Structure 1
């Protein structure tokens, strides 16, 4: 059984340059990507390029408009959904903070500025609205990172330079958060949510009952439902269906398995129900979706 634990373990870039830039399309339709609650050990900077994106970070939610950004600290749970706009797209720059270190020596830059960030003595501010000169500078550097990756000559040097300049701007303007006030209730809820997401990721191909999920968290079924809706803005079944449809879409693109086989593999017991849910999320049937991506599949 494949484990789709929302704590990502995949590599972003490689050991020599641990950074990757992802184009995320959230506009409803066949090409819409589902980015449910997940977390990873890398830092993530997000730049919205079309319309608006609803970005959840921890227990907070932000409607981020074109030209604005979000800075996500490592291990922070986050999710992206479309906002109330016709278009909804962004770029996510996911990177290991080790990218910023010198490879040959421990210099002043590392000791005085980067070490506190990497050791999580300092945290990044979250919402970059573009309303101040500091915000504008950060967003300008993010735009350049997105522009040069991965085809421009020496893009690695350009990106590392812009990343260091972002750090310098944040530090010079005292925008780094030197400590985070811990809300014990929110912290407890987030820990429970991670357990719930972990359980769903491991068992999404099986029948998941509310009772089983509540038992994992040692809470009542009612509390489990309310907590999940509050934290993810989705019901448990909506979240599971999103995950299953996302996995089904990958299989439709990458395999020749029948729609019924894929339906069963991702956890739908009834192929008719799978078709209805898939159409509701992707705005087309599974067969139409497969035909849409057939040229890409044949050329790969």
Structure 2
């Protein structure tokens, strides 16, 4: 896959801003969603599970994580998250562009920061409490979180200091891998990124198996087997889930009618939309909107 295709596949969501390209997210599931669809972005993502248990799929492989576990997700890594057997879970997540730690090509940048940004080194995706250096990782993560949340004078310096210490602890305690430059899994990953981008760009339209298969030069039969094998769900299930997540956001953030939301997210049958929505969120669209509005107020 060439650079232009990679740029087109970037997650659109902006994490932080130009001056401080980092964002802290605090997830509570299943408050308003039960899973995060498979995606990738150019930022480094650091996740700490603070309660419960969930399943991450990282580069198409499942990892069950529980309270206290860290996840280290390099830039460009495909990942998704879902509940584990309907269990509730909570997590704190930093998503940061490594440019905020770049120091104009000194040895720190060249040996460490750029090696992560360019995927020349990969840390274990999951770091558990019995891993050497874990206590320091957790200490620096929590101090980074407090600095970010408190935003006291000079917090930017404090935040960067603790992030550097976090990465120093990773490099000095955790074995790293050097990716194989020729990897069959990369071919599969590239094809998945192509089809996920196609769905993202066209979810409001009628999507057919034939059209999606053509994006990969597959037969319809091979495409359906490929999608199910590597994403764990059928393409129809994935598309419906993607559309429902966007519909839920529209119900929260707009005053569009339920019919309008359904049509805007690719559902031409309101009864079918209501049925799928209730199956996923355990509430009708109307009940969901009332629930969210009540909690905000």
Deviations along 1:132-186, one digit per CA (max 9) or x if unpaired, are 2323322332233334432342443332122111221122235232x11357332
Q: Aligned to 2:23, which of 20, 24, 29?
A: 20
Select the structure with the greater relative contact order (CA < 8 A; seq sep ≥ 6).
Answer: 1
Distance (whole Å) between structure 1 residues aligned to residue 57 and residue 88 of structure 2 = 18
Pairs within 5 Å for 1:101-180: 101-102=102-103, 106-153=105-152, 154-173=154-173, 175-177=175-177, 179-180=178-179
Aligned residue for 2:72, secondary structure, equals strand
- Offset of residue 203 of structure 1: 0.9
Give the RMSD, CA atoms, in angstroms. 2.2
- Aligned CA distance change for structure 1 residues 164 and 232 (closer, same or farther; 3 Å): same
Distance (whole Å) between structure 2 residues aligned to residue 6 and residue 49 of structure 1 = 30
Give the ranges of 4+ consecutive aligned residues of structure 1 lying more than 6 Å apart after TM superposition: none
Alignment correspondent of 1:63: 64
Distance (whole Å) between structure 2 residues aligned to residue 115 and residue 261 of structure 1 = 46
Structure 1 residues 17-26 or 71-80, which shifts more? 17-26
- Offset of residue 218 of structure 1: 0.8
Alignment correspondent of 1:83: 84
Deviations along 1:63-98, one digit per CA (max 9) or x if unpaired, are 010110110010111111111253122122100111
Distance (whole Å) between structure 1 residues aligned to residue 184 and residue 109 of structure 2 = 35
Aligned residue for 1:201, secondary structure, equals helix
Provide the aligned length of Structure 1 versus Structure 2: 289
Structure 2 regions of 5+ residues with no counterpart? 1-7
Distance (whole Å) between structure 1 residues aligned to residue 118 and residue 101 of structure 2 = 13
- Aligned CA distance change for structure 1 residues 183 and 63 (closer, same or farther; 3 Å): farther
Distance (whole Å) between structure 1 residues aligned to residue 185 and residue 118 of structure 2 = 23
Distance (whole Å) between structure 2 residues aligned to residue 194 and residue 106 of structure 1 = 31
Aligned residue for 1:13, secondary structure, equals coil
- Offset of residue 106 of structure 1: 4.9
- Normalised by the length of structure 2, the TM-score is 0.89
